[in-house]
Structure 1
Amino acid sequence: MSFGLKEKMDNPVLFRGARGAVFSPASVPDKEKISKGVAFLKTWGLEIDVNPFKKCRYLAGRDEERAFELASLLEKPYSFLWASRGGYGSLRLLPLLDELVERVRPVWIIGFSDVSILLNYFFTRFGLVTLHAPVVASLFETSLCTLAVLKNVLLRGKNIFLTGEVWREGEAQGILIGGNLVSLVSLLGSRWAPDFSGKLLFLEEVNEDLYRLDRLITQLYHAGVFKKISGLLLGEFKGVSYQEIKPLFLEVFNGPILAGLPVGHGIKNYPLFIGASSSLLASSGQSFLLQKF
Protein backbone atom coordinates (compact mmCIF):
# COMPACT_ATOMS: atom_id res chain seq x y z
CA MET A 1 0.00 0.00 0.00
CA SER A 2 1.34 3.41 -0.95
CA PHE A 3 1.38 6.22 1.57
CA GLY A 4 2.54 8.95 -0.78
CA LEU A 5 0.82 12.25 -0.06
CA LYS A 6 -2.42 12.73 -1.97
CA GLU A 7 -3.81 16.08 -3.06
CA LYS A 8 -4.91 18.08 -0.03
CA MET A 9 -8.60 17.70 0.77
CA ASP A 10 -10.34 20.80 2.16
CA ASN A 11 -13.09 20.42 4.74
CA PRO A 12 -16.23 22.56 4.80
CA VAL A 13 -17.18 25.14 7.40
CA LEU A 14 -19.74 23.62 9.75
CA PHE A 15 -23.19 25.13 10.10
CA ARG A 16 -25.96 25.01 12.67
CA GLY A 17 -27.62 21.66 12.23
CA ALA A 18 -24.48 19.96 10.89
CA ARG A 19 -24.44 16.35 12.00
CA GLY A 20 -21.45 14.44 13.33
CA ALA A 21 -20.63 11.48 15.52
CA VAL A 22 -18.49 10.62 18.52
CA PHE A 23 -16.11 7.69 18.06
CA SER A 24 -13.86 5.85 20.53
CA PRO A 25 -10.63 4.63 18.93
CA ALA A 26 -8.52 4.23 22.04
CA SER A 27 -9.09 4.01 25.80
CA VAL A 28 -12.45 3.60 27.51
CA PRO A 29 -14.18 7.02 27.83
CA ASP A 30 -16.05 8.29 30.86
CA LYS A 31 -19.77 8.27 30.00
CA GLU A 32 -20.57 11.29 32.18
CA LYS A 33 -17.82 13.37 30.58
CA ILE A 34 -19.02 12.35 27.12
CA SER A 35 -22.57 13.36 27.96
CA LYS A 36 -21.40 16.77 29.19
CA GLY A 37 -19.22 17.29 26.13
CA VAL A 38 -21.99 16.35 23.72
CA ALA A 39 -24.46 18.60 25.53
CA PHE A 40 -22.03 21.48 25.21
CA LEU A 41 -21.48 20.95 21.46
CA LYS A 42 -25.23 20.93 20.96
CA THR A 43 -25.30 24.51 22.27
CA TRP A 44 -23.36 25.34 19.09
CA GLY A 45 -26.28 24.00 17.09
CA LEU A 46 -24.52 20.76 16.13
CA GLU A 47 -26.32 17.41 15.92
CA ILE A 48 -24.28 14.55 17.37
CA ASP A 49 -24.71 10.79 17.33
CA VAL A 50 -22.99 8.85 20.10
CA ASN A 51 -22.22 5.24 19.35
CA PRO A 52 -22.17 2.82 22.28
CA PHE A 53 -18.74 1.41 23.06
CA LYS A 54 -17.65 -1.86 24.57
CA LYS A 55 -14.74 -2.57 26.86
CA CYS A 56 -11.78 -4.83 26.21
CA ARG A 57 -9.17 -4.52 28.94
CA TYR A 58 -8.22 -0.81 28.91
CA LEU A 59 -9.60 -0.25 25.39
CA ALA A 60 -13.04 0.83 24.17
CA GLY A 61 -13.66 -2.54 22.53
CA ARG A 62 -11.61 -5.01 20.54
CA ASP A 63 -9.38 -3.61 17.79
CA GLU A 64 -11.70 -4.96 15.10
CA GLU A 65 -14.73 -3.35 16.73
CA ARG A 66 -13.10 0.07 17.07
CA ALA A 67 -11.68 0.02 13.54
CA PHE A 68 -14.99 -1.10 12.03
CA GLU A 69 -16.84 1.63 13.92
CA LEU A 70 -14.58 4.32 12.49
CA ALA A 71 -14.66 2.87 8.99
CA SER A 72 -18.45 2.70 9.11
CA LEU A 73 -18.75 6.28 10.29
CA LEU A 74 -16.53 7.45 7.44
CA GLU A 75 -19.02 5.97 4.98
CA LYS A 76 -21.91 8.01 6.40
CA PRO A 77 -22.65 11.63 5.43
CA TYR A 78 -21.31 13.12 8.65
CA SER A 79 -19.66 16.54 8.66
CA PHE A 80 -17.37 15.72 11.58
CA LEU A 81 -16.14 12.76 13.62
CA TRP A 82 -15.05 13.74 17.12
CA ALA A 83 -12.96 11.38 19.28
CA SER A 84 -14.36 10.67 22.72
CA ARG A 85 -10.93 10.48 24.38
CA GLY A 86 -7.31 9.53 23.79
CA GLY A 87 -5.26 7.36 26.11
CA TYR A 88 -3.94 4.44 24.10
CA GLY A 89 -5.12 2.27 21.24
CA SER A 90 -5.15 4.24 17.99
CA LEU A 91 -1.88 2.66 16.83
CA ARG A 92 -3.49 -0.79 16.93
CA LEU A 93 -6.11 0.28 14.37
CA LEU A 94 -3.82 1.28 11.51
CA PRO A 95 -3.39 -2.12 9.78
CA LEU A 96 -7.15 -2.68 10.04
CA LEU A 97 -7.96 0.75 8.62
CA ASP A 98 -5.64 0.00 5.70
CA GLU A 99 -8.01 -2.81 4.75
CA LEU A 100 -11.34 -1.27 5.76
CA VAL A 101 -11.03 2.27 4.40
CA GLU A 102 -10.42 2.72 0.67
CA ARG A 103 -11.35 6.39 0.34
CA VAL A 104 -12.63 9.31 2.38
CA ARG A 105 -14.59 12.44 1.57
CA PRO A 106 -14.14 15.83 3.22
CA VAL A 107 -14.95 15.36 6.91
CA TRP A 108 -13.45 16.80 10.07
CA ILE A 109 -11.66 14.21 12.21
CA ILE A 110 -11.07 15.84 15.58
CA GLY A 111 -9.01 14.88 18.63
CA PHE A 112 -5.54 14.96 20.14
CA SER A 113 -3.11 13.00 22.33
CA ASP A 114 -3.20 9.35 21.22
CA VAL A 115 -5.69 10.31 18.50
CA SER A 116 -2.96 12.39 16.84
CA ILE A 117 -1.85 9.07 15.32
CA LEU A 118 -5.11 9.00 13.37
CA LEU A 119 -4.92 12.71 12.49
CA ASN A 120 -1.56 12.16 10.81
CA TYR A 121 -2.64 8.85 9.28
CA PHE A 122 -5.64 10.30 7.45
CA PHE A 123 -3.63 13.26 6.23
CA THR A 124 -0.68 11.16 5.07
CA ARG A 125 -2.82 8.55 3.35
CA PHE A 126 -5.65 10.63 1.90
CA GLY A 127 -4.56 14.28 2.08
CA LEU A 128 -7.37 14.95 4.56
CA VAL A 129 -6.74 17.98 6.75
CA THR A 130 -7.62 17.03 10.33
CA LEU A 131 -8.05 19.06 13.52
CA HIS A 132 -5.85 18.72 16.61
CA ALA A 133 -8.26 19.90 19.31
CA PRO A 134 -9.81 18.80 22.63
CA VAL A 135 -11.54 15.42 22.69
CA VAL A 136 -15.20 15.33 23.70
CA ALA A 137 -14.38 14.12 27.23
CA SER A 138 -12.10 17.10 27.89
CA LEU A 139 -14.35 19.89 26.58
CA PHE A 140 -15.62 20.74 30.07
CA GLU A 141 -12.02 20.98 31.30
CA THR A 142 -11.04 23.38 28.51
CA SER A 143 -10.74 27.16 28.85
CA LEU A 144 -13.47 29.39 27.46
CA CYS A 145 -10.98 31.20 25.22
CA THR A 146 -9.92 27.88 23.70
CA LEU A 147 -13.52 26.91 23.03
CA ALA A 148 -14.24 30.30 21.46
CA VAL A 149 -11.33 29.88 19.04
CA LEU A 150 -12.39 26.31 18.28
CA LYS A 151 -15.92 27.45 17.47
CA ASN A 152 -14.60 30.22 15.23
CA VAL A 153 -12.48 27.74 13.32
CA LEU A 154 -15.16 25.11 12.80
CA LEU A 155 -18.29 27.24 12.38
CA ARG A 156 -16.86 30.46 10.92
CA GLY A 157 -13.83 29.25 8.98
CA LYS A 158 -11.39 31.47 10.85
CA ASN A 159 -7.63 31.12 10.47
CA ILE A 160 -5.44 29.92 13.33
CA PHE A 161 -2.97 32.43 14.77
CA LEU A 162 -0.89 31.50 17.81
CA THR A 163 2.05 33.20 19.47
CA GLY A 164 4.85 31.69 21.50
CA GLU A 165 8.36 32.04 22.87
CA VAL A 166 11.30 32.15 20.48
CA TRP A 167 13.92 29.54 21.24
CA ARG A 168 15.75 29.89 17.95
CA GLU A 169 15.12 32.62 15.43
CA GLY A 170 14.15 31.97 11.84
CA GLU A 171 11.29 31.68 9.40
CA ALA A 172 9.75 28.62 7.79
CA GLN A 173 6.75 27.57 5.75
CA GLY A 174 5.41 24.09 5.28
CA ILE A 175 2.67 21.63 6.06
CA LEU A 176 2.19 21.10 9.78
CA ILE A 177 2.21 17.56 11.15
CA GLY A 178 2.76 15.97 14.55
CA GLY A 179 0.99 16.00 17.88
CA ASN A 180 1.72 13.92 20.96
CA LEU A 181 5.42 13.07 21.22
CA VAL A 182 5.06 9.49 22.49
CA SER A 183 2.42 8.74 19.88
CA LEU A 184 4.49 10.17 17.05
CA VAL A 185 7.61 8.24 18.06
CA SER A 186 5.55 5.03 18.08
CA LEU A 187 5.13 5.44 14.30
CA LEU A 188 8.86 5.56 13.54
CA GLY A 189 10.09 2.56 11.58
CA SER A 190 6.58 1.64 10.43
CA ARG A 191 4.95 2.23 7.06
CA TRP A 192 2.63 4.72 8.77
CA ALA A 193 5.38 7.14 9.76
CA PRO A 194 4.68 10.49 8.10
CA ASP A 195 7.02 12.07 5.58
CA PHE A 196 8.85 14.74 7.58
CA SER A 197 10.59 16.37 4.62
CA GLY A 198 10.05 20.14 4.63
CA LYS A 199 7.33 19.92 7.27
CA LEU A 200 6.67 22.04 10.32
CA LEU A 201 6.68 19.63 13.27
CA PHE A 202 4.46 20.23 16.31
CA LEU A 203 5.03 18.32 19.57
CA GLU A 204 3.38 18.22 23.00
CA GLU A 205 3.49 15.79 25.92
CA VAL A 206 2.15 15.15 29.40
CA ASN A 207 3.52 13.54 32.58
CA GLU A 208 6.75 12.16 31.12
CA ASP A 209 9.93 12.38 33.21
CA LEU A 210 12.75 14.45 31.77
CA TYR A 211 14.93 11.42 31.01
CA ARG A 212 12.04 9.81 29.12
CA LEU A 213 11.57 12.97 27.07
CA ASP A 214 15.31 12.93 26.38
CA ARG A 215 14.99 9.35 25.10
CA LEU A 216 12.06 10.21 22.81
CA ILE A 217 13.73 13.32 21.39
CA THR A 218 16.95 11.37 20.86
CA GLN A 219 15.03 8.69 18.98
CA LEU A 220 13.59 11.33 16.65
CA TYR A 221 17.11 12.67 16.17
CA HIS A 222 18.59 9.26 15.32
CA ALA A 223 15.72 8.67 12.89
CA GLY A 224 16.81 11.78 11.01
CA VAL A 225 13.61 13.71 11.69
CA PHE A 226 15.31 16.95 12.75
CA LYS A 227 17.40 17.01 9.55
CA LYS A 228 14.24 16.88 7.44
CA ILE A 229 11.84 19.35 9.04
CA SER A 230 11.86 23.08 8.28
CA GLY A 231 10.62 24.33 11.65
CA LEU A 232 9.70 23.14 15.14
CA LEU A 233 6.68 24.15 17.24
CA LEU A 234 6.29 23.09 20.85
CA GLY A 235 3.13 23.09 22.90
CA GLU A 236 2.69 22.25 26.56
CA PHE A 237 4.98 19.67 28.18
CA LYS A 238 3.00 19.16 31.34
CA GLY A 239 5.04 17.85 34.25
CA VAL A 240 8.38 19.47 33.35
CA SER A 241 9.52 23.05 32.96
CA TYR A 242 10.39 24.61 29.62
CA GLN A 243 13.84 25.43 30.94
CA GLU A 244 14.45 21.73 31.53
CA ILE A 245 13.52 20.64 28.02
CA LYS A 246 14.86 23.65 26.13
CA PRO A 247 18.47 22.31 25.90
CA LEU A 248 17.20 18.95 24.62
CA PHE A 249 15.64 20.54 21.54
CA LEU A 250 18.38 23.11 20.96
CA GLU A 251 20.92 20.27 20.82
CA VAL A 252 19.15 18.43 17.99
CA PHE A 253 17.57 21.09 15.75
CA ASN A 254 19.22 24.13 14.21
CA GLY A 255 16.15 25.66 12.55
CA PRO A 256 13.50 28.04 13.90
CA ILE A 257 11.85 26.94 17.15
CA LEU A 258 8.70 28.48 18.60
CA ALA A 259 7.78 27.13 22.05
CA GLY A 260 5.08 27.69 24.61
CA LEU A 261 2.13 27.38 22.24
CA PRO A 262 -1.14 27.01 24.21
CA VAL A 263 -1.74 23.49 22.88
CA GLY A 264 -1.65 20.23 24.82
CA HIS A 265 -3.07 18.52 27.88
CA GLY A 266 -3.82 21.68 29.86
CA ILE A 267 -6.97 23.79 30.00
CA LYS A 268 -5.63 25.79 27.06
CA ASN A 269 -5.67 23.40 24.11
CA TYR A 270 -6.08 25.62 21.07
CA PRO A 271 -6.86 23.97 17.73
CA LEU A 272 -4.26 23.23 15.05
CA PHE A 273 -4.75 22.00 11.50
CA ILE A 274 -2.81 18.81 10.80
CA GLY A 275 -1.95 18.77 7.11
CA ALA A 276 -2.45 22.48 6.40
CA SER A 277 0.07 24.86 4.89
CA SER A 278 1.48 26.93 7.74
CA SER A 279 3.84 29.83 8.34
CA LEU A 280 6.24 30.09 11.28
CA LEU A 281 7.99 33.32 12.20
CA ALA A 282 10.35 33.35 15.16
CA SER A 283 12.12 36.66 15.66
CA SER A 284 12.83 39.11 18.46
CA GLY A 285 10.26 41.54 17.10
CA GLN A 286 7.49 39.14 16.14
CA SER A 287 6.77 35.44 16.64
CA PHE A 288 3.74 33.46 15.53
CA LEU A 289 2.25 30.44 13.79
CA LEU A 290 -0.32 31.18 11.09
CA GLN A 291 -2.57 28.56 9.50
CA LYS A 292 -5.14 29.57 6.94
CA PHE A 293 -8.46 27.68 6.82
Structure 2
Amino acid sequence: MEGFFGTEYMPKIETGDILFLEDSLKDACTIERSFSLLKLAGVFEKIGGLILGKHEKFDDNGTGKQPYEILLEVMGDPKVPILADFDCCHTHPMFTLPIGCSVMLDAARKQVSLTEHPLNTFPFK
Protein backbone atom coordinates (compact mmCIF):
# COMPACT_ATOMS: atom_id res chain seq x y z
CA MET A 1 0.00 0.00 0.00
CA GLU A 2 2.84 2.39 0.71
CA GLY A 3 3.77 2.31 -2.97
CA PHE A 4 0.49 3.95 -4.02
CA PHE A 5 -0.73 5.67 -0.82
CA GLY A 6 -1.81 9.23 -1.58
CA THR A 7 -2.12 8.58 -5.32
CA GLU A 8 -5.15 8.15 -7.55
CA TYR A 9 -4.71 4.36 -7.20
CA MET A 10 -5.35 4.36 -3.46
CA PRO A 11 -8.97 3.39 -2.79
CA LYS A 12 -10.92 6.18 -1.10
CA ILE A 13 -11.57 5.35 2.53
CA GLU A 14 -15.01 6.51 3.62
CA THR A 15 -16.32 6.97 7.16
CA GLY A 16 -17.46 3.61 8.51
CA ASP A 17 -15.55 1.47 6.00
CA ILE A 18 -14.13 -1.87 7.09
CA LEU A 19 -10.39 -1.77 6.41
CA PHE A 20 -8.67 -5.01 5.42
CA LEU A 21 -4.89 -5.21 5.85
CA GLU A 22 -2.75 -8.21 4.98
CA ASP A 23 0.83 -8.99 4.10
CA SER A 24 3.51 -11.65 4.37
CA LEU A 25 7.26 -11.92 4.73
CA LYS A 26 7.55 -8.58 6.52
CA ASP A 27 9.14 -7.65 9.83
CA ALA A 28 8.02 -5.73 12.90
CA CYS A 29 9.73 -2.50 11.82
CA THR A 30 8.05 -2.52 8.41
CA ILE A 31 4.53 -3.12 9.66
CA GLU A 32 4.91 -0.60 12.48
CA ARG A 33 5.84 1.99 9.86
CA SER A 34 2.85 0.99 7.70
CA PHE A 35 0.42 1.17 10.63
CA SER A 36 1.90 4.55 11.64
CA LEU A 37 1.35 5.90 8.12
CA LEU A 38 -2.32 4.94 8.34
CA LYS A 39 -2.66 6.55 11.77
CA LEU A 40 -0.98 9.80 10.72
CA ALA A 41 -3.16 9.95 7.59
CA GLY A 42 -6.29 9.74 9.76
CA VAL A 43 -7.41 6.40 8.36
CA PHE A 44 -8.03 4.81 11.76
CA GLU A 45 -10.30 7.74 12.69
CA LYS A 46 -12.55 7.08 9.66
CA ILE A 47 -12.98 3.33 9.63
CA GLY A 48 -15.78 1.38 11.29
CA GLY A 49 -13.75 -1.81 11.75
CA LEU A 50 -10.50 -3.51 10.82
CA ILE A 51 -9.67 -6.99 9.55
CA LEU A 52 -6.00 -7.92 9.94
CA GLY A 53 -4.97 -10.89 7.84
CA LYS A 54 -2.77 -13.66 9.19
CA HIS A 55 0.83 -12.65 8.49
CA GLU A 56 2.73 -15.65 7.21
CA LYS A 57 6.46 -15.84 7.97
CA PHE A 58 6.41 -12.70 10.12
CA ASP A 59 9.77 -11.63 11.60
CA ASP A 60 9.20 -10.04 15.02
CA ASN A 61 12.79 -8.67 15.08
CA GLY A 62 13.26 -10.24 18.51
CA THR A 63 10.42 -8.26 20.08
CA GLY A 64 8.16 -11.25 20.67
CA LYS A 65 5.27 -9.14 19.36
CA GLN A 66 2.76 -10.23 16.75
CA PRO A 67 1.30 -7.86 14.12
CA TYR A 68 -1.92 -7.45 16.12
CA GLU A 69 0.04 -6.29 19.18
CA ILE A 70 2.00 -3.79 17.10
CA LEU A 71 -1.25 -2.51 15.57
CA LEU A 72 -2.72 -1.93 19.03
CA GLU A 73 0.43 -0.05 20.14
CA VAL A 74 0.18 2.25 17.13
CA MET A 75 -3.59 2.77 17.36
CA GLY A 76 -3.56 3.38 21.10
CA ASP A 77 -7.09 2.74 22.32
CA PRO A 78 -8.97 1.45 19.26
CA LYS A 79 -12.57 2.65 18.99
CA VAL A 80 -13.45 0.05 16.35
CA PRO A 81 -13.82 -3.73 16.32
CA ILE A 82 -10.70 -5.57 15.14
CA LEU A 83 -10.49 -9.13 13.84
CA ALA A 84 -6.88 -10.36 13.73
CA ASP A 85 -5.17 -13.40 12.19
CA PHE A 86 -7.86 -13.68 9.50
CA ASP A 87 -7.01 -16.54 7.10
CA CYS A 88 -6.89 -14.57 3.88
CA CYS A 89 -4.57 -13.92 0.97
CA HIS A 90 -0.87 -14.57 1.69
CA THR A 91 -1.39 -17.45 4.12
CA HIS A 92 -2.50 -21.05 4.46
CA PRO A 93 -5.35 -21.82 4.36
CA MET A 94 -6.12 -19.12 1.83
CA PHE A 95 -9.52 -17.45 1.53
CA THR A 96 -9.96 -14.77 -1.11
CA LEU A 97 -11.78 -11.66 0.12
CA PRO A 98 -13.15 -9.52 -2.73
CA ILE A 99 -11.88 -5.95 -2.52
CA GLY A 100 -14.59 -3.29 -2.55
CA CYS A 101 -17.36 -5.66 -1.48
CA SER A 102 -19.62 -4.77 1.45
CA VAL A 103 -19.03 -6.95 4.48
CA MET A 104 -20.36 -7.39 7.99
CA LEU A 105 -17.69 -7.75 10.66
CA ASP A 106 -18.50 -9.46 13.94
CA ALA A 107 -15.17 -9.38 15.77
CA ALA A 108 -16.65 -10.90 18.94
CA ARG A 109 -17.73 -14.01 17.02
CA LYS A 110 -14.68 -13.85 14.72
CA GLN A 111 -16.86 -13.75 11.60
CA VAL A 112 -16.78 -11.83 8.34
CA SER A 113 -19.80 -12.10 6.04
CA LEU A 114 -20.20 -10.74 2.53
CA THR A 115 -23.38 -8.66 2.39
CA GLU A 116 -23.48 -8.37 -1.39
CA HIS A 117 -22.43 -10.45 -4.36
CA PRO A 118 -18.80 -9.66 -5.27
CA LEU A 119 -19.61 -9.14 -8.95
CA ASN A 120 -22.00 -6.33 -8.02
CA THR A 121 -19.00 -4.22 -6.97
CA PHE A 122 -17.25 -4.38 -10.34
CA PRO A 123 -16.03 -1.97 -11.55
CA PHE A 124 -14.89 -0.87 -8.13
CA LYS A 125 -16.78 1.92 -6.43
Shorter-chain TM-score bucket reads 0.7 to 0.9
Q: Which residue of 2 aligns with 1:282?
A: 107
8 Å CA contact 1:185, 1:220 repeated in 2: no
Cα distance in 2 between the residues matched to 1:192 and 1:277: 20
Q: Which residue of 2 aligns with 1:101?
A: none
Task: Report the CA distance shift for 1:218/1:272 in structure 2 as closer, same or farther (over 3 A).
Answer: same
Cα distance in 2 between the residues matched to 1:208 and 1:194: 22
Report percent identity of matched pairs: 31
Q: Which residue of 2 aligns with 1:150?
A: none
Q: Which residue of 1 aligns with 2:26?
A: 208
When you count strand as a share of all residues, which structure comes out higher? Answer: 1
8 Å CA contact 2:52, 2:68 repeated in 1: no
After superposition, residues 226-241 of structure 1 pair within 5 angstroms as 226-240=44-58
Q: How many Å apart are 1:264 and its aligned residue?
A: 2.4
Higher relative CO (Cα under 8 Å, sequence separation at least 6) belongs to 2
Q: Does 1:248 align with 2:70?
A: yes
Q: Does 1:199 align with 2:4?
A: no
Per-residue CA distance 1:40-92 (angstroms, 9 max, x = gap): xxxxxxxxxxxxxxxxxxxxxxxxxxxxxxxxxxxxxxxxxxxxxxxxxxxxx
Q: How many Å apart are 1:187 and its aligned residue?
A: 2.0
Q: Specify the structure having the higher radius of gyration (Cα).
A: 1
8 Å CA contact 2:32, 2:71 repeated in 1: no
When you count helix as a share of all residues, which structure comes out higher? Answer: 1
Q: How many Å apart are 1:234 and its aligned residue?
A: 1.1
Q: Which residue of 2 aligns with 1:270?
A: 95
Cα distance in 1 between the residues matched to 2:88 and 2:41: 25
Cα distance in 1 between the residues matched to 2:21 and 2:44: 12
Unaligned runs of 5+ in 1: 1-183
What is the identity, as a one-letter code, of the residue corresponding to 2:101?
A
Per-residue CA distance 1:173-215 (angstroms, 9 max, x = gap): xxxxxxxxxxx22221212221112211111111111111111
Cα distance in 1 between the residues matched to 2:92 and 2:107: 25
Cα distance in 2 between the residues matched to 1:185 and 1:254: 24
Q: Does 1:187 align with 2:18?
A: no
Per-residue CA distance 1:239-277 (angstroms, 9 max, x = gap): 227942222212314310001111122231102121111
After superposition, residues 108-257 of structure 1 pair within 5 angstroms as 184-197=1-14, 198-240=16-58, 243-251=65-73, 252=75, 253-257=78-82
What is the identity, as a one-letter code, of the residue corresponding to 1:290?
S
Give the TM-score of the pair, scaled to structure 2.
Answer: 0.76
Cα distance in 1 between the residues matched to 2:3 and 2:43: 13
Aligned residues: 108
